[in-house]
Amino acid sequence: PMQAAKRVGIQYARAIKAGEAYGEGKATKLGKNVDASRQCAKIANVGFCGGLGAAAFVDYYNSWTLGEEGIEKMTEERAHELRNSWFQTWPEMRDYFTHIGNITGDFGPKSIVQFGSKRVRGKVTFTQAANGFFQSKTADGAKEALWMIQRACYVEKDSPAYGSRVVNFIHDEYLVECPRETFAEAGDEIARLAREGMALHIPDLPIGAEPAAMLRWTKGAKTVRNAQGKLQIWRPKK
C-alpha cells in the first residue's frame, strides 16, 4: 500500500481506504488504480528483495500480470523508476545486497545457514541467497504450520481438524478439504495452527490467519461468520 500510494500520488491512509473498498466490490477508478499499483508494488518488493535487476524485472512482471485488468505492461524505463523508488523507501537494502555479495563472493555458489531454524541451503547464487534470507523465516514458519496441520488432520483424533485433508499449499494459503459437518470447527482450528506455527519462527510480530470456507476454491473468498461467530460458507455474488 505504501508504494501504491506513492505511485498514485495520494496519502497512505487514503490508499488503504480506497483499496479496501475496491476489495469489497465498490468499484471506483481510484480503488482500481490503487489495487493495480499495489499489485505492481507487491511484485517489486518480492523481486527487488531477491536482487532482481530492472531489465529482468520487466519480463518477470509482465509474465505474472499478463491479462490482469487495470495493469499496464511494464517497460524498462518504468522498471528503473520503480526500483529507484523502492530503494528510497527501503535504503537499508543497499547494505543488505552488499552483505549478500560478501557472502557469495566471486568464486561460485556457496551454502548459507538460514536465520533461526539453522536450515542449510546449499550452493546458492547471489539472487538465491538474497531471496533465501529475506523469505527464510516465513518459509520455515509456513512449513512448520503445515506439519502441525497435517498432524492434526491425520493423527490427533481429538482435534477439530481430524479427518480433514490438505490438498494443496499455495504460497501462503493452505487448501484443505473438510467434512461438511465439521468444516466450521476445522477451519478455525487450521487457522489457529497456521498462526501458531508461524509464531514459532516469527515471535515478535502479530500473526494473522483467517479461514474462508467455500464449495469451490476461489482466490477472492472471504471469511464469513454468522451472528454467533460461527464460520459460514462464502458464496460469490451473482
Given pLDDT bands bounded at 50, 70 and 90, which one contains residue 110? confident
Confidence check: pLDDT of 72 > 90: no
pLDDT of residue 107: 65
Of 164, 179, 177, 172, give the one whose Cα is nearest residue 217: 177
Given pLDDT bands bounded at 50, 70 and 90, which one contains residue 121? confident
**126-158 tens-digit pLDDT:** 988 998 888 899 999 999 999 999 999 999 999
d(CA 129, CA 112): 7
pLDDT of residue 116: 86
Given pLDDT bands bounded at 50, 70 and 90, which one contains residue 30? low
As given in the structure block, the three cell numbers for residue 50 are 531477491
d(CA 85, CA 36): 17
Confidence check: pLDDT of 31 > 70: no
**214-235 tens-digit pLDDT:** 999 988 889 999 999 999 999 9
Confidence check: pLDDT of 237 > 90: no
Confidence check: pLDDT of 85 > 60: yes
Question: 3-class SS at 168?
Answer: strand
The residue assigned the cell 518504468 is: 78
Confidence check: pLDDT of 67 > 60: no
Among the listed ranges 19-33, 50-64, 124-138, 207-221, which one has the minimum average pLDDT value?
Answer: 19-33
- pTM (predicted TM-score): 0.73
What mean pLDDT comes out for the span 168-176?
Answer: 92
